[in-house]
Amino acid sequence: MATIFIILFVLALFHFIYESILLPSFRLESRYKLFQLRDELRGLKNDEENGIEDDVFFLLEDTVNITINRLPYFNLSTGIEANREYKENKEFQKRVEKRKKTLESCENKRVFQVNKKLLDISALAFILNSGGWMYILIPIFLVLVLFAIITSSIRSFRSKLFSNTYKVAYASNNDFSHFAHLA
């Protein structure tokens, strides 16, 4: 009973430290990077030589602003809900695909880099915001990896066994007599 209490206390302490101390610092750093991206994007819009189209600019700026405002909500459950909505709601799927095509159609390499940085920061936010689940997900992940290794080993053994079995099974009577342990 004491062991369970100690384990639960350590998990609660980890969760408190991560969610209350570390995660807000990580989010703040990500927000600053997003503000920097938005400033870079606005600089690109004002650049006479490498200007970008209005639709691409407004779409990407809107995406950066949404990411800044919704950064704490980028987590595993939101990702699962968005994925489900994407599969079930064709209108949502069309809107997302249209936005994606608009951004991908822009040939300005600097806009492409801003978009890539935005996606990288968003992916990092998903990982960081889901970090409180680490102590639950890591053991599950380790069990899955161990299962994959064991399954792969069994398949490898089975394959080697079958590849060697045919040599014995297809040997003629005369060939069998040449095997050392049968002589």
Q: What is the pLDDT of residues 50-86, one digit of tens each?
A: 668 888 889 999 999 999 999 999 888 888 899 999 9
Domain layout of the chain by residue ranges: 25-164
List, for residues 21-55, the tens digit of each pLDDT value: 999 999 999 999 999 999 999 988 887 666 688 88
Instruction: Tell me which amino acid residue 60 is.
Output: L
**What would the DSSP string read from start to end of 61-74?**
HHHHHHHHHHGGG-
The pLDDT of 142-150, averaged and rounded, is 90
The residue with greater pLDDT, 73 or 163, is: 73
Mean pLDDT for the chain? 85
